[in-house]
Amino acid sequence: MKYALYLGCTIPLRVPNYELATRRVMDKLGVELVDIEDAGCCGIYHEQINELTHLAMAGSIIAKAEDIGLDIMVMCNGCNESLIKANKRLKEDADLRRKVNEILSKIDLEFKGNINIKHYIRVLYEDYGVDKIRKKVVNSLDNLKIAAHYGCHIFKPTDIIQFEDFEDPESLDVLIEATGAKSIDYLDKKLCCGGYVLGYKKEVAYEISGYKLQNIKDAGADLIVTICPFCNIMYEANQRAIESQLNKQFKIPVLHYPQLLGIAMGFSYKDMAMELNRVRIDPKLFE
């Protein structure tokens, strides 16, 4: 099993522990990752401003993966949406494809439309398989109650991404429980983290995140598990700021899913770069 890995912008700059844990876990599972060299931004923030700019930016990444003959695996929900939408649009609209390829020709690239894009959660859930993951678990985490946060852009727009029912998803819950842990239900589980509001009004974004953190705390979760770098930043890197604004204390550790899976597969706390997590995690939790 082999994929072209696209990291996006946020992961290398702000959550290197996410990248490290993912690479180590995928390697141990036997999933080979090939880096897409010189891959820029996926263009998601240009989508509402200039469609052609978005499609050219996304198209360049897809074209690079096409050149190495591999489907793309992404680790960011926003990149997931951006690349899937661009791939579909360029495959279906010959005139847009021609315009984008005129731009790409200046850097010796061409969008051909012969690969697909998958979030790594889909790779694990659909391609690798939950049963095979369970067989890799050597440290069952059956003492943990975990709150799963899916994020929006792994599902939406549903007619284009076509992965699960947003109203009743199960992939992340199932993958969490493959480690032996219990994935718990909590109020407004599908609510956005508030990240998309952050650039407009920080206070509103923090209010949304704080509401979910309170619901998760009330449900008795030991940890939150995320699958999107920006959702992780909202709940983890910004948790102290949210506590300060709302005059509350949560102190809920937040893990990237590969960190959780890695611990269950026998990696150490240090192997999963948990010392880089902002909300400190007691290693004894995993004993």
Of 37-51, 61-75, 258-272, least confident by mean pLDDT is 37-51
- In this prediction, residue 69 has a pLDDT band, given cuts at 50, 70 and 90, of very high
Question: In the predicted model, is pLDDT for residue 47 greater than 80?
Answer: no
> What local confidence, expressed as pLDDT, does residue 286 receive?
87
Tokens of 164: 């699960």
Sheet with strand 72-74: strands edge to edge: 32-35, 2-6, 72-74, 117-119
pLDDT digits (tens, 9 = 90+) for 80-101: 999 999 999 999 999 999 999 9
Q: What is the mean pLDDT of residues 41-69?
A: 93
Report the mean per-residue pLDDT for the chain.
96
Question: In the predicted model, is pLDDT for residue 48 greater than 80?
Answer: no
> What local confidence, expressed as pLDDT, does residue 2 receive?
98
Measure the CA–CA gap between 277 and 285, rounded to whole angstroms: 15
Question: In the predicted model, is pLDDT for residue 287 greater than 80?
Answer: no
- In this prediction, residue 249 has a pLDDT band, given cuts at 50, 70 and 90, of very high
Q: What is the mean pLDDT of residues 222-249?
A: 97
pLDDT digits (tens, 9 = 90+) for 120-159: 999 999 999 999 999 999 999 999 999 999 999 898 888 8
Higher-confidence residue of 107 and 197: namely 107
> What local confidence, expressed as pLDDT, does residue 167 receive?
86
Tokens of 217: 């705390």
Identify the CA nearest to 195 among candidates 10, 24, 64. 10
> What local confidence, expressed as pLDDT, does residue 104 receive?
98
> What local confidence, expressed as pLDDT, does residue 103 receive?
98
> What local confidence, expressed as pLDDT, does residue 46 receive?
79
| CB-count exposure of residue 182 (10 Å: 0-12, 13-18, 19+) | middle
Residue ranges and CATH numbers for the domains of the chain are: 2-120 (1.20.1050.140), 138-286 (3.40.50.11810)
- In this prediction, residue 66 has a pLDDT band, given cuts at 50, 70 and 90, of very high
pLDDT digits (tens, 9 = 90+) for 166-218: 888 999 999 999 999 999 999 999 999 999 888 889 999 999 999 999 999 99
Question: In the predicted model, is pLDDT for residue 59 greater than 90?
Answer: yes
